[in-house]
Amino acid sequence: MKLFFACAFLGLLFFFTLAFINKHQKKANKLLAVCLLSSALFLLHLAGLNAHLFLKFPVLYALFLPFQYLIAPTAYLYVRSFLKGNVRFRTKDWIHFIPFVLSILCYLKYFITNANNKLVSINNANVNFSYHFAETDMLLPLYVLTTLKIILVIFYLIAQWRLIKEWLIEIVTAPNVYKDIFGWLKTFTILITAFIACYVFANILSIFITNVSINNIILIAEYGLCLSFLTILLYLFFHPKILFGMMGNIVFYTLDKQKNTISTTINVQQIFAQEIAPTKEIAQALTLEENGGEEVEDETKIFSLTPEKVFEYKQKLETLMAEKMIFLTHGCNLKDVANAINIPRHHLSIIINTEYRVNFNDFINRYRVEYLKEKMLTPESQQLTLDGLAKEAGFSSRATFFRAFTKFTGQTPSDYLKKFSKSE
- The confidence band for 121, taking pLDDT boundaries of 50, 70 and 90, is confident
Nearest to 252 by CA among 33, 25, 21: 25
Note whether 2-247 and 309-423 share their fold: no
Coil, strand, or helix at residue 320?
Answer: helix
- For 219-224, the CB contacts below 8 A with 24+ separation are 219/50, 219/129, 222/4, 222/46, 222/50, 222/129, 222/132, 222/198, 223/3, 224/194, 224/195, 224/197, 224/198
- The confidence band for 273, taking pLDDT boundaries of 50, 70 and 90, is very low
Domain extents for the chain? 2-247, 249-305, 309-423
pLDDT score, position 262: 34
- If you average pLDDT over residues 175-200, what whole number do you get? 85
What superfamily in CATH does domain 309-423 come from?
Homeodomain-like (1.10.10.60)
H and E: helices and strands count for the chain: 19, 3
CA angle 166, 169, 171 (to 5 degrees): 95
Rounded CA-CA distance 327/321 in Å is 7
Rounded CA-CA distance 349/340 in Å is 14
- If you average pLDDT over residues 244-250, what whole number do you get? 47
Tens-digit pLDDT profile for residues 146-176 = 888 899 999 999 999 999 988 876 666 555 5
Tens-digit pLDDT profile for residues 3-17 = 888 999 999 999 988
Instruction: Looking at 51-95, list the stretches that DSSP marks H as alpha helix, in order from N- to C-terminal side.
Output: 68-83
CA angle 42, 24, 99 (to 5 degrees): 30
pLDDT score, position 247: 44
pLDDT score, position 139: 66
Q: What is the pTM of this model?
A: 0.61
Q: Are 242 and 78 in contact (CB under 8 A)?
A: no
Tens-digit pLDDT profile for residues 325-358 = 998 988 888 999 999 999 888 888 888 888 888 8
User: Taking the mean position of all CA atoms in its chain, how far away is CA 105?
Assistant: 34
Helices 98-106, 68-83: crossing angle, 10 deg rounding: 180
pLDDT score, position 34: 94
**DSSP 8-state symbol, 259:** T
Kindly report which listed range (139-143, 266-270, 389-393, 418-422) carries the lowest average pLDDT score. 266-270
pLDDT score, position 275: 37
Report which listed range, 54-68, 224-238, 297-311, is most confident. 224-238
Q: Are 277 and 354 in contact (CB under 8 A)?
A: no
Q: Are 175 and 357 in contact (CB under 8 A)?
A: no
- Is the pLDDT at 277 greater than 60, yes or no? no
Rounded CA-CA distance 272/303 in Å is 18
pLDDT score, position 223: 92
- What fold does the segment set 2-247 form as a domain? Rhopdopsin 7-helix transmembrane proteins (1.20.1070)
- Mean of all residue pLDDT scores within the chain: 77
Rounded CA-CA distance 151/418 in Å is 71
